[in-house]
Amino acid sequence: MPKRIAPLSDIQVKNAKPKEIDYKLADGGGLYLLVTTTGGKLWRMDYRFKDKRKTAAFGAYPAVTLSEARQRREDAKKLLVNDVDPGEIKKAQKSSQGEQDANTFEVIAREWHSKFAHTWVPSHAQHKLERLEKNVFPWIGRRPIRELTAPDVLAVLRRMELRNILDTAHRVRFECGAIFRYAVATGRADRDPVADLKGALPPVKNGHHAAPTEPKDVAPLLRAIDDFQGSFVVKCALQLAPLLFVRPGELRAAEWSEIDFQAAEWNIPAGKMKMKIAHLVPLSKQALKVLVELKPLTGHSKYVFPCHRSPLRCMSENAVNAGLRRMGFDKSEITGHGFRAMARTILDEVLQVRPDFIEHQLAHAVKDPNGRAYNRTAHLAERKKMMQLWADYLDGLKTGAKVIPITQKAA
């Protein structure tokens, strides 16, 4: 008959001291305290499962008390009675926890950022990560991405709204959506809950299409355009958009017959203009260079920027914006129309160009002191100088020329 083992007491467990070799203090039912030479006190349980001797680990004292260790022994015995190996259950739980830890929002967000960072200019990539680190990770970063819901993300966005950084909230919403879609594509989320938040945030009330108007923010955008890896036709359109700052519809519908290379002018007929008045766009040396490089590719077409499916149609109205998104700039940062606001602001506040020259080049309804609308050639000489000045200024930004912030200029 096996010798009966007296159960341990709390005092025995507390006072157990290390010896020259590891030793055990038995509690009965297979449970014992393993005292190591380094002073560790580890709860273990020996058991047999399908004629194999095994050992289960229940944690360390004092984090796991004597009574808690006994409860874990009883739980293990119930599993054994039902022909379930408690060791395998523990492994499954650890594996599940490990999978959850590997699939948290922050882990996947950083993986997404690392995978696509090379497609963005370095400063833009850094800003994206910093927005997440400051506004998102502290709140939902440690949670498994599969468990997150639309209200969870909305709570994060609302915190930013309450801090009066609504523009940042819109950018974060866009980035969170991209992260969830990446998680879905890689099999770690079922759907993108951010899609349910469309319209949940109030729009940014700036009165203009989104655009960077601080010179330091314009430079990385221009460099990203020059490094664009998509269609060459779209790249040329992206390069001309800031140089010419016409409306997106006017740019994509440009025809080769309207371009006068000798006079360095683009003559847009009245039928294509919003105000139904013919418009003249002086072409800087930089703009002419883009057109010269593009003509061998699309010169056989009616359009400067033909549709890739059919040269009989002009480029899609979404092509420029899609190009901007591909580079990592969301619609809260820049749109094709936003290049007009960018030019208007910087030409006025930094380059000190007369506002009426700028407005006329924007094809706005500018009138002279007598109330008459200017014709298409009004102030043409001055506007040619302005367009070349603007192109040279943008080149300076791209190459890292020292710029004066608008806030400082206005001070």
Catalytic choice (181, 209, 374, 385):
374
Using an 8 Å Cβ cutoff, are 116 and 326 in contact? no
Catalytic choice (115, 308, 364, 367):
364
Catalytic choice (113, 337, 344, 383):
337
pLDDT at 260: 95
Averaged in consecutive runs of 10 residues, what is the pLDDT profile of the chain (411 residues)?
73 91 91 90 89 87 90 87 76 55 84 82 78 92 91 93 84 90 88 89 64 82 89 94 91 94 93 83 96 94 89 86 85 81 86 84 64 65 94 89 49 37
Q: Which CATH number fits the domain 215-410, given the four candidates 3.40.50.300, 3.40.50.10860, 1.10.443.10, 3.90.1010.10?
A: 1.10.443.10
Q: What is the pLDDT of residues 347-358, one digit of tens each?
A: 888 888 888 888
Q: Is 247 a catalytic residue?
A: yes
pLDDT at 51: 83
pLDDT at 282: 95
Q: Is 73 a catalytic residue?
A: no
Strand pairing of 259-260 and 52-60? unpaired
Q: Is 364 a catalytic residue?
A: yes
Instruction: Find all residues with CB under 8 Å of 72, minimum gap 6, and list them.
Output: 43, 45, 58, 59, 64
pLDDT at 411: 37
pLDDT at 267: 93
pLDDT at 167: 78
Tokens of 131: 């927005």
Q: Is 113 a catalytic residue?
A: no
Nearest to 249 by CA among 310, 321, 311, 299: 321
Instruction: Provide the 8-state DSSP code for 342.
Output: H
* Domain range summary for the chain, segments of one domain joined by +: 10-98, 105-197, 215-410
Sign, CA dihedral 341-346-348-354, equals negative
CA distance 257 to 298: 12
Using an 8 Å Cβ cutoff, are 360 and 366 in contact? yes
List the beta bridge partners of residue 280: 267
pLDDT at 170: 86
Using an 8 Å Cβ cutoff, are 333 and 171 in contact? yes
Contacts 24+ apart (CB under 8 A), 197-204: 197/150, 197/153, 197/154, 197/157, 197/173, 200/154, 200/157, 201/157, 201/161, 201/166, 201/169, 201/170, 201/173, 202/161, 202/166, 204/166, 204/167, 204/170, 204/332
Indicate the pTM of the whole model. Answer: 0.52
Q: Which CATH number fits the domain 105-197, given the four candidates 1.10.20.10, 1.10.150.20, 1.10.150.130, 1.10.3720.10?
A: 1.10.150.130
Tokens of 100: 């959850």
Catalytic choice (191, 274, 354, 367):
274
Specify whether the backbone of 400 is left (phi greater than 0), alpha (psi in -120 to 50) or beta: left
Tokens of 386: 């302005």
Nearest to 45 by CA among 68, 61, 29, 60: 29
Catalytic choice (113, 173, 340, 344):
340
Q: Is 274 a catalytic residue?
A: yes
Distances from the Cα of 385 to the Cα of 218, 351, 391, 393, angstroms: 21, 12, 10, 12
Looking at domain 10-98, its CATH architecture is 2-Layer Sandwich (3.30)
The helix/strand count (H/E) of the chain reads as 17, 7
Catalytic choice (247, 252, 279, 383):
247
